[in-house]
Structure 1
Amino acid sequence: MTAKEIRESFKIFFKSKEHHIVSSAPMVIKDDPTLMFTNAGMNQFKDIILGNQPAKFKRVADSQKCLRVSGKHNDLEEVGHDTYHHTMFEMLGNWSFGDYFKKEAIEWAWEYLVTILKINPERLYATIFEGSPEDGLERDNEAADIWGQFLPKEHIINGNKHDNFWEMGDTGPCGPCSEIHIDLRNETERANTDGLLLVNQGHSQVIEIWNLVFMQYNRKADGSLESLPAKVIDTGMGFERLCMALQGKISNYDTDVFQPIIKEIAQIVKTEYGKNPQTDIAMRVVADHIRTIAFSITDGQLPSNAKAGYVIRRILRRAVRYGYTFLKQKHAFIYKLLPVLIDNMGDAYPELIAQKGLIEKVIKEEEESFLHTLEMGIRLLDRTMVETKSSGNQTINGKDAFTLYDTFGFPIDLTELILRENGMNVDLDEFSTEMQRQKERARNAASIETGDWVILKDGTTEFVGYDYTEYETSIIRYRQIKQKNQTFYQIVLDVTPFYAESGGQVGDVGVLVSEYETIEIIDTKKENNLPIHIVKKLPEYPEAPMMACVDTDKRATCAANHSATHLLDQALREVLGEHVEQKGSLVTPESLRFDFSHFQKVGFAQ
């Protein structure tokens, strides 16, 4: 079976079991502060599982695109060097929200693997939860008994809490799980060593392919467990591993998931795959990373220097570096792989087809930009390595590595990789020291000394600025602050018409007027959701009633510039494309600045 046929067979099978087939959620997550990327099939159903949202369908199945670049089994630097690590992968899964439970989940998993896919049952093993005395939980005999209908007892293995009890977090839904493992070794190896001894032992040919999670408990804040009123089934099967098993391969990269891309790379770089370990690693790196980069761009995440964008840029630059060093590619070439990727996966993920032009442009632009950085950085690093070796040393100092990073944008992990390939290393402690010094310099430049609050009366602030630009008020509390050798005062009012800096728009300015004096407000900021009025001079009579008066001319010009940012946002989308996203703005009475994501310099005509 081809990869396309395998993916489709899974959906057809579970549709026959009355599951609603849903589309993959985006791989890049925009609305969950705890995650940057979808790393498991259950992510899109988290609110349903937590009980925050009702389930539209009781039974669901899908093929979910996932990204993992950190964690115990997901080290980015391992990708390409072995046969089974990946950054982006697909997870086939089926879910039940308060409908069926262990019996159906296990029986259908067996039916799909053995009856539909014709996998030899003698090669299959199942692990079940052995129990936990500390949680008052017995062995999952229910699951063991169901597996006993299909597997001999010696193929049903007890697993500990770490491997066979799934928890969403410190609290919340949890429960035992049952992993299905397959032994892909040849008959001679199987005869010499019992597969039972290799399950969960890190053997590349005795691997887990499907995990069935039975969420039947809720972990409370005190650590105790209570039964869930609506039990949940959550399963996940590694698509690439399943393809390897069904296509009789010993590496995920030998399946038709990756081979069309690898063959295209080999043709472009004029190097045959399978002839040289170093070039093979480089081809696997590029084949893996092009998938991750393309899908991230379709989900709206362009490479950048922050958060999720930095992860994508790091992955792309790693691919460029391997192509440059081991495949002798001094010009952009990774973007040329997009047509074969779309041919391979476009049917299942039509967003690749819809955004082909954007993906190609972004990747090509990033490749060309980093190749320039790479050439300059490698020349400097080569010179540093020669100088270091000539002094009889194998460790370059951290200051040199930091200069490469800070001045030329050369990543420290890339420096480490190149040094490792040349039998050298870097003084990471010194590098960290230099990094810390830079952070301290930046911190000191922005450091603020704050005094204690002087509280005149209790209360909170009421904002009336949408309806009034002048309003009678009084001071609730104030404190002194010092920044860059200047002294200011922060004032909190009980009622204020002053708009505090928010959404890129600067805060209002104006005056506080009492019968004794007029105090200029030079800025209004927000601290813990509280409007803070900044003044250079404290009122001589802070308890006196006052009028808070906003500078209406400056507010009006600010409002006009704020409206202009919305118009600019729409215009950029119409001219440059729907991929454009606002990344920040600064709106003042005099001007506006609008930060947005785009993959290249905006042309004059645009």
Structure 2
Amino acid sequence: MKSQDIRKQFLQFFADRGHLIVPSAPIVTKDDPTLMFNNSGMAQFKEYFLGNATPKSKRIADTQKCLRVSGKHNDLEDVGFDTYHHTMFEMLGNWSFGDYFKKEAINWAWELLTEVYKVPKDIIYVSVFEGSPEENVPFDQEAYDIWKELIDEDRIILGNKKDNFWEMGDQGPCGPCSEIHVDIRSADEKALISGKSLVNNDHPQVVEIWNNVFMEFNRKADRSLEKLPAQHVDTGMGFERLCMVLQGVQSNYDTDVFTPLIEKIESLTGKKYTIKAANDEEEKINIAIRVVADHVRAVAFAIADGQLPSNGGAGYVIRRILRRAIRYGFTFLDIKEPFINELVGVLAAQMGEFFPEIKSQQSLVTNVIREEEASFLRTLDQGLQLLDNVIAQTQGNEVSGAKAFELYDTFGFPEDLTALILKEKGLDYNKEEFDFELLKQKTRSRAASEVAKDDWVILVEGNTESFVGYDQLENEVKITRYRKIDSAKEGVQYQLVLSATPFYPEGGGQVGDRGVLKSANESIEIVDTKKENNLILHITKSLPENVEGGFTAVVNAKLRDESQSNHTATHLLHQALRSILGTHVEQKGSLVSPNYLRFDFSHFSKVTEEQLKEVEDFVNARIQEHLPLIERRNIPFKQAVEEGAMALFGEKYGDSVRAIKFGNSMELCGGTHVKNTADIWHFKIISEGAVAAGIRRIEAITGNAVKDFFAGQEKALDEIKATLKNPQDTLKAVVSLQDENAKLKKQLETLLRDKAKNLKGELATEIQEINGVQFLAKHVPLDPTGAKDLAYELGTLGTNLFIVLATAEEGKPMLTCYISKELVAAKGLNAGTVVKELGKFIQGGGGGQPFFATAGGKKPEGINEALEAAVNFVK
């Protein structure tokens, strides 16, 4: 069966059994602060399991794009070395929210596998939870009894808590699970050892393909368990592993999920992927090809869903995955140029039908990956030079582990590449020292991110919370639940949930509201508002004295006004860019705060000053038109899009959406907005620049921030006028000053050139012969340009000259080295290498050509040592 047919059959099977088929959520989470990526099929349904929202159907099925490369679920370092771990994978799943339970879930799983997919019953093993007396959780007798009606009891395995008890996190819904494993080994292998003994032992052909989780309990902060009011089913089947079983191959990478990518890698690199490697060299190539084929999927889909590679957060994880792939290509496939980006077309052709985002975003994804490849290959080249320097400074056969870690941590140079290069040179590095430095870094990072959360204290039962902040900034509320949190970063805080809050939670790029919670006796500051699992969380530093009393929730109106002014301007900016630059422009990220707005968008070149002026004028024209807000709430998503509302890639939209319209600008948006564009007052672009290949960023301000900006500009102009003695025409006075400065610069250059010529005569007499080389090392009273001119002037005096000149203009030391080309050829000397070494004395470095190079530094006191070292070098 083709993989596309396998996927379709799964979804059809559960659709026929009353399941609503829903699309995959984006692989990058934007509305869950506890999770960077969707790492399982259930992630998008957390709010249903927690009871914070009602699902649109009690039965749902889907295939979810998942990424496991951070936190508790991290398979990254396993990828490539085995044939069944992946960074990105698809998880086929069926869900019951308080509807059917173990009997239906197990029987349907068996029916689909054995009757529809025709998986032989004699290769299947299943597991059930054996129980945990210390946590007062019994053996899952119910699941065992259901299975023994379907399969021989000797194929039922009792699993421990690690393998057969699933938990959402340290707290929350959890329960026993029943796994389904398959043994696809040959008959001869099975005769030697039973597949039962290989279950959950990381055997590449005895693998888990499906897990049925039965959510029965709620895990509390004190680790105790309580029964959930409703029982749920959460299942997940690995799509790639299922394809391996149904296509009769021995590896996920031998399925048609991966073979088109592998074939393209082979054609690009000239290396051959072998199903069974004959030697270490072939196995290294196999690992590298598997790494590249796997990682390009994860990176491409993350970028398509709106996550660009960057130096922090989710973006750093994506960059790290891509760099791992580049590094394997560089080291084992011998590819020194960008090539991974050329796989995106294969991916789009292969998966675009079911995941249209990879096709529609193909150009952007390709460009971003190409630019990242080129950048990291430059980093690798720089790292090789740095490693050469470390090796040159090393005495003995062992490089400092701290130095190797510095290459890894500061310059992004991979540890295993360092080890490989050192091994080729007959060297090693102190692994224990490296690991110690790495542990220190991880400990610091972990300590900075640790958060302890108490259980929710429920004051009002049921889903009684609502948001009223579109219509009012003040409301009478009750606290429905609260909990204490203690983070290393923020200290002790409290999260309060209010019955009908006017506070907008951070989302859609807009920051959360701030304000106060007032009662007759006190006022509690709300320092931020966030959303988690469909709950609006109000962050405070303290609890009210009487949490069960009545309160007035009051949003800071000034901050809200400024935020929504910037948010509306963001919509108008988007419209302006599409009108002026073209409809290829799409929003790729935004930040809306009271102080400014930031807008990332797809565009292939720098936006010119003329275009930026057009964009500003376009937005300000819409402000001057006094366009009223036309808001439509709870309209069907499909209808809104058909009426012209713009939906953003990578965003998760419900069946009902909110559409915001100002004139011809219409977008789906949950944020807050001004009632009329006139409220924005004025729009001003502050900066424009590149974020990544094909992605530009504009930062802008509105309202009071613009007034402050103009006031600052006016003040600066007044100060310029005062400096220029208040001329009648300020611009004319500045131009005149620039002309005068240019003339003086030319005069100065002429004087310095003359000075260099005069010095030539003086210094010619100081040149001395050392080891057959005409040598001069001298501190000269010139600027770096003058030193260069002087070096070339002295260079005309002979063909075996070695000259080192030092300058220290304005306290900035500079070394200039000139070596006659004839001397370079005869003795193999290199001015670039010389200045790199001498630059250490002035705490700097540099480089250049073999016959001429310079090095700058920050320690002028080291000049004399540098010149002495030059003398010793020639001696």
TM range (shorter): 0.7 to 0.9
Other-structure match for 2:428: 424
Residues matched between the structures, number: 496
| Distance in 2 (alpha carbons) for counterparts of 1:22 and 1:141 | 33
Check the 8 A contact 2:299/2:318 in 1, yes or no.
yes
Partner of 2:412: 410
Matched position secondary structure for 2:588: coil
Name the SS of the counterpart of 1:580 in structure 2. strand
1:517 is aligned to none
Q: Give the match for residue 508 of structure 1.
A: none
Q: CA deviation at 1:320?
A: 1.4
Q: Is the 8 A contact 2:390 2:399 kept in 1?
A: no
Per-residue deviation, 1:399: 4.0
Highest RCO, 1 vs 2 (Cα 8 Å, sep ≥ 6): 1
Q: Is the 8 A contact 2:262 2:273 kept in 1?
A: yes
1:302 and 1:599 in contact (8 A); partners too: no
2:69 counterpart SS class: coil
Q: Is the contact made by 1:129 and 1:161 (CA closer than 8 Å) also made in structure 2?
A: yes
Moved more, 36-45 or 186-195: 186-195
Partner of residue 586 from structure 2, selected from 570, 574, 578: 578
Asked if structure 2 preserves the Cα contact closer than 8 Å seen for 1:174 and 1:218, the reply is: yes
Please name the residue that 2:80 is paired with.
80
Task: Deviation per CA, 1:24-51: give whole Å up to 9, x if none.
Answer: 1110001111100000000010000100
- State how far apart, in whole Å, the 2-side matches of 1:72 and 1:181 are: 23
Residue number in structure 1 paired with 2:350: 344
SS in 2 for 1:289: helix
Task: Quote the offset at 1:396 in angstroms.
Answer: 3.1
Residue 126 (structure 1) shift? 0.9
Post-superposition Cα deviations, 1:449-478, rounded to whole Å, max 9, x if no partner, equal: xxxxxxxxxxxxxxxxx99xxxxxxxxxxx
- Percent identical pairs in the alignment equals 51
Q: How many angstroms does 1:317 deviate by?
A: 1.3
Alpha-carbon contact 2:689-2:696 (below 8 Å) kept: no
Distance 2:408 2:177 in 1: 47
Deviation at 1:114, TM superposition (A): 0.4
Within 5 Å, give how 1:319-334 maps onto structure 2: 319-334=325-340
Partner of 1:376: 382
Match of 1:581, SS state, is strand
Q: 1:232 is aligned with what amino acid? A: H
Structure 1 length normalisation: TM-score? 0.74
- Quote the RMSD (CA, aligned, Å): 3.7
Secondary structure (helix, strand or coil) at the match of 1:179 reads strand
What SS does the corresponding residue of 1:99 show, helix, strand or coil? Answer: coil
Question: How far 1:591 moved relative to its partner?
Answer: 8.3
**Residue identity in the other structure for 1:580:** K
5+ residue gaps, structure 2, are: 446-471, 474-508, 512-524, 530-557, 598-681, 699-875
Q: Which deviations, in whole Å up to 9, do the C-alpha atoms of 1:249-290 show, x marking residues without a partner?
A: 221111111111000110111222126222221111110111
| One-letter code aligned to 1:39 | N
Kindly provide the amino acid, as one letter, of the partner of residue 323 in structure 1: G
Segment drifting more, 141-150 vs 165-174? 165-174
Q: Quote the residue 1:395 is aligned against.
A: 399
Verify: 1:314 aligned to 2:315, yes or no.
Answer: no
Q: How does 1:123-522 map to 2 (within 5 A)?
A: 123-274=123-274, 276-385=282-391, 388=394, 391-399=395-403, 401-402=405-406, 405-406=409-410, 409-411=411-413, 413=415, 418=420, 424-425=428-429, 427-428=433-434, 431=437
Q: 1:435, CA displacement in angstroms?
A: 7.2
Deviation at 1:582, TM superposition (A): 2.5
**C-alpha displacement of 1:330:** 1.9
* 3-state SS, counterpart of residue 313 of structure 1: helix
Alignment pair present for 1:121 and 2:127:
no
Larger mean Cα displacement after TM superposition, 72-81 or 241-250: 72-81
Distance 1:413 1:198, change over 3 A: same
> Structure 1 564/49 Cα, relative in aligned 2: closer, same or farther at 3 Å?
closer
Whether 1:599 aligns to 2:693 is yes
Structure 1: distance between partners of 2:269 and 2:321: 20
Distance 2:697 2:72 in 1: 44
Q: CA deviation at 1:214?
A: 0.8
Could you tell me which runs of 5 or more consecutive residues in structure 1 were left unpaired when the two chains were aligned: 440-465, 468-501, 505-525, 531-551
Partner SS for 2:228: strand
Q: Residue 20 of structure 2 corresponds to which residue in structure 1?
A: 20
- Return the offset for 1:72: 7.1
Partner of 1:8 in structure 2? Answer: 8
TM-score norm. by structure 2 comes to 0.52
Task: Note the alpha carbon deviations across 1:561-594, whole angstroms, 9 max, x for none.
Answer: 9987775565557647314313588659998457
Residue aligning to 1:515: none
Secondary structure at the residue paired with 1:60? strand
Relative to 1, partners in 2 of residues 1:278 and 1:100: Cα closer, same or farther, differing over 3 Å?
Answer: same
In structure 2, what is the Cα distance between the partners aligned to 1:421 and 1:577?
A: 49
Distance 1:412 1:322 in 2: 10
1:398 to 1:13, Cα distance in 2 relative to 1, 3 A? same
Q: What is the CA distance between 1:132 and its match in structure 2?
A: 2.1
Which residue type is aligned with residue 303 of structure 1? P
Alpha-carbon offset, residue 74 of structure 1: 3.5
Letter in 2 for 1:13: F
Letter in 2 for 1:324: F
What SS does structure 2 have at the residue aligned with 1:115? helix
In the alignment, is the contact (CA less than 8 A) between 1:128 and 1:159 conserved in 2?
yes
Q: CA 1:421–1:32 in 2, change beyond 3 Å: closer, same or farther?
A: farther
- Cα distance change on mapping 1:596 and 1:97 into 2, 3 Å: farther
- Residues 364 and 694 in structure 2, CA contact (< 8 A), matched pair in contact too: no
Q: 1:324 to 1:59 in 2, by over 3 A?
A: same
Deviation at 1:69, TM superposition (A): 1.3
Distance 1:104 1:134 in 2: 30
**How does 1:102-121 map onto structure 2 within 5 Å?**
102-121=102-121
Query: 1:60/1:326 Cα in 2 relative to 1: closer, same or farther (>3 Å)?
Result: same
